[in-house]
Structure 1
Amino acid sequence: MSTNSHDSHSGNSKISKSDLWLIIACAAIIIFAYFDLSKTTVTYSNAERDVAERIQKVGAVQFRDAAKAARPGEDVYKAQCAACHASGAAGAPKFGDVAAWAPRIKNTFESLVNSALKGKGAMSAQAGGEFSDLEIARAVAYMASQAGGKFKEPEAPAPAAEEKK
């Protein structure tokens, strides 16, 4: 009994439809993976994101132009304070509301400025932001004066006289 090696294989080799779809899917995955890897973006898991947030820098140094004149209280109010004080948002005393400002005006000007610089209630600390402490104090004087206070806008300190050698 002789067997022909060709007998065990039929001449009609067919690929089933499911095998064909599997081959197409694998080829598509390989092609998409190749092109997608060229545009790789870093994604973090929640744990990695938490670590990144914990080790971020906590401060920055800003250099300001000391010769630049301090802005008047009205300008600072419009740029920084009006967002809450114009409408009374988050419990802020509304601009020009004598009744809301009266208990605050009874305090010293320094205590009002201190509250603005360090923050009070829903108001975050204003110190260290875009405006200098003097400019924040001027805005406090402007707002309180519009509600019946008699605070004068603080003047910029005189430049220190240079010591003569």
Structure 2
Amino acid sequence: MFKRSVKFASAAILMAGLAPALATAAGESINPAGEKLYKSACLACHMAGVAGAPKVGDKARWSALTAKGMDALMHTTINGKGAMPPRGATKADDATLQAAVEYMISKSQ
């Protein structure tokens, strides 16, 4: 009985750790706040590629950006770049900004 409980607990822990990766691979947002922020603020530029913003769905462009790593993406998101103002002109906290970036990446793979 104990061995079965340990195996079940180990499997549950493993699956819980993989859940965010599986959600991203399935195209779902890890954090619903990311999708909400994207739809309320980021979409205006990232849907149409305004002023050179990487369009959501552009696999090649996002692949090049993600190759630089999340730290580089967050640096740009927090500090702004080109026509993009810092924090995308929002008051979102870092975690919500990262969730929005992760959402855009998930829709661009």
Query: TM-score normalized by structure 1?
Result: 0.44
Identity of aligned residues (%): 38
In terms of Rg, which structure is larger? Answer: 1
**What does residue 163 of structure 1 align with?**
none
Q: What is the Cα deviation at residue 71 of structure 1?
A: 5.7
**What does residue 107 of structure 1 align with?**
68
**What does residue 116 of structure 1 align with?**
77
**Runs of 5+ unmatched residues, structure 2:** 1-30
**What does residue 84 of structure 1 align with?**
45
**What does residue 136 of structure 1 align with?**
97
Normalized per residue, the structure richer in helix is 2
**What does residue 74 of structure 1 align with?**
35
In structure 2, what is the Cα distance between the partners aligned to 1:97 and 1:147?
6
Residue identity opposite 1:92 in structure 2:
A
Q: What is the Cα deviation at residue 111 of structure 1?
A: 1.2
Greater relative contact order, per chain length (Cα 8 Å cut-off, separation 6+): 2
Query: TM-score normalized by structure 2?
Result: 0.65
| Structure 1 outlier segments of 4+, above 6 Å | none
Q: Describe how 1:21-60 pairs up with structure 2 within 5 A.
A: none
In structure 2, what is the Cα distance between the partners aligned to 1:107 and 1:116?
13
**What does residue 32 of structure 1 align with?**
none
CA distance change for structure 1 residues 127 and 91 in 2, over 3 Å: closer, same or farther?
A: closer
Q: What is the Cα deviation at residue 128 of structure 1?
A: 7.9
